[in-house]
Structure 1
């Protein structure tokens, strides 16, 4: 919740740092992305807040409702990423496209877990996809806005107060968008880490598990 609050505040700061258009508070196109990012974080803030409240109240349906709110957050993120105001033909679009695959897995497994709360595999895949979601967002940030990591033949260009990766030619653009192998490497790494982490914890704790509430 704290991280979401900080992120929302930072995005709204960049969105409002120049007064909005005097006519009907119209949001300029170059600042729409900031409100999109803030909305995504707001969804997860709402989910986290209600997760704590439901856990504290101890409602019989608190687990199902928590998963439902989580599914809404993933669904909203998937929707906003799919219709993101960023360039849909550049390098960033390829990273967003691959992110949507991860989000779709998170959304589907979360919805399925509502009906099958005791299914270990669903929970495991959901947790792994959430981890992959965070890792891929970090990778996207480094690969797109770190000059030393930008593909050869491409550069960071400031367009309408937003940094965008542009390439010199079509061949450079195609090479820069070929991040599928990178996605696959991270997918394998996350899979190996998740399974190994589970095996280690299973060996340490075995059946000696003790659960407690979030509050």
Structure 2
């Protein structure tokens, strides 16, 4: 497999994973809030109908596969280190990507264990691990060993904005677990995270999608986009910004439409509240409890006593 498809698939597959989890969370957050708006508490993950931990199991499996791909597969040697134990320069970006996969794996495995153990504050701890994942991802992309310059750098800089939004909403979820807005925005950010990763994989490393005036070239064993002139570079960056704006607008409309339709499908459950009896009903209730018939002042089962004073 050449460098071009591997770089593209390396963004599209993780993007599809984030997209699936984000859509799953969006639907369930809205459904849960629509059914019980007064008792809503935002879960960190949602159990599946038959396999409770299916979401976490899929995250563990996907992270493990991507970790193995980054560390061992698609290289001249399956060893991620040199003979002296050092990391080769051309493998630094693979190790950085693997760290993100490892953070995801730690989150999912820990959340699964905390749920099985019924640990106290498991939701807050799991959400803190989610925040650690996005913090790790933001750190890696901001200080990436690969020179994300030009068009590729613009796409990844916009990606950092999405990851930062995911991080902020995860931290807010710890402080405000009953806020539907926080849960909704966090799910929307995770969904958009997946969308933008797919866009990067399709627009940066697929030759037919490269903007006019730019081309896909191989540098230091990997493929990247290089523009032929300064004007072409500015145009390509402007197109990336426009794509980000269009996809963000579409995402906003999608969330609103999904919210309206899910609320229509799952109306709020009727809450039954026991009303206190009125004065007359309360007196009648006490008489029946003591065995007194309605309209009878004598207590059943007892003979009235006459006390002579």
Question: Normalized against structure 2, the TM-score is what?
Answer: 0.64
Determine which of 111, 126, 130 is the counterpart of 1:51: 111
Residue of structure 1 equivalent to 2:266: 205
- Per the alignment, residue 42 of structure 1 pairs with 102
1:157-191 Cα deviation digits (max 9, x unpaired): 11121111111111111111221111010001111
- Matched residues in 1 for 2:184 and 2:267: separation? 16
Shift of the alpha carbon at 1:200?
1.2
Q: Which has the higher contact order (CA 8 A, sep 6+)?
A: 2
What stretches of structure 1 of length at least 5 have no aligned partner?
209-215
Task: Name which of 152, 167, 173 aligns with 1:92.
Answer: 152
- State how far apart, in whole Å, the 1-side matches of 2:180 and 2:201 are: 32
Give the RMSD, CA atoms, in angstroms.
1.5
Cα distance, 1:21 vs structure 2: 3.1
Which runs of 5 or more residues in structure 2 are unaligned?
1-59, 270-309
Aligned 8 A contact 1:103 1:133 in 2: yes
Shift of 1:113: 0.9
Matches of 2:219 and 2:94, distance apart in 1: 15
* TM-score normalised per structure 1: 0.91
The size of the alignment, in residue pairs, is 207
Partner of 1:212: none
Contact 1:155–1:167 (Cα < 8 Å) also in 2: yes
Alpha-carbon distance in 2 for matches of 1:17, 1:54: 40
Larger-Rg structure? 2
Residues 115-174 of structure 1 deviation map (CA, whole Å, 9 limit, x = unaligned): 110000001110000100011001000001111100011111111211111111111111
Q: Please report how far the alpha carbon of residue 81 of structure 1 lies from its aligned counterpart in structure 2 after TM superposition.
A: 0.7
- Structure 1 range deviating more: 24-33 or 36-45: 24-33
1:87: how far off? 1.8
What per-residue deviation string (whole Å, max 9, x for no partner) do you get for residues 53-83 of structure 1?
A: 1122222201000100000000000000111
Match of 2:82 in 1: 21
| Conservation of the 8 A alpha-carbon contact between 1:92 and 1:144 | yes
**1:195 aligned partner:** 256
Question: Displacement, 1:26?
Answer: 2.0
Match of 1:66? Answer: 126
Decide which of 228, 231, 236 is 1:168's aligned counterpart. Answer: 228
Aligned counterpart for 2:189 among listed residues 105, 110, 129: 129
Would the aligned equivalents of 1:102 and 1:129 in 2 still touch at CA under 8 Å?
yes
Shift of 1:86: 2.0
Q: 1:11 aligns with which of 70, 88, 91?
A: 70
Q: Is the 8 A contact 1:15 1:32 kept in 2?
A: no
Partner Cα separation in structure 2 for residue 141 and residue 119 of structure 1: 34
Determine helix, strand or coil for the equivalent of 1:129.
helix
Matched position secondary structure for 2:215: strand
Q: Distance in 1 between matches of 2:128 and 2:161?
A: 20
Aligned to 1:143: 203
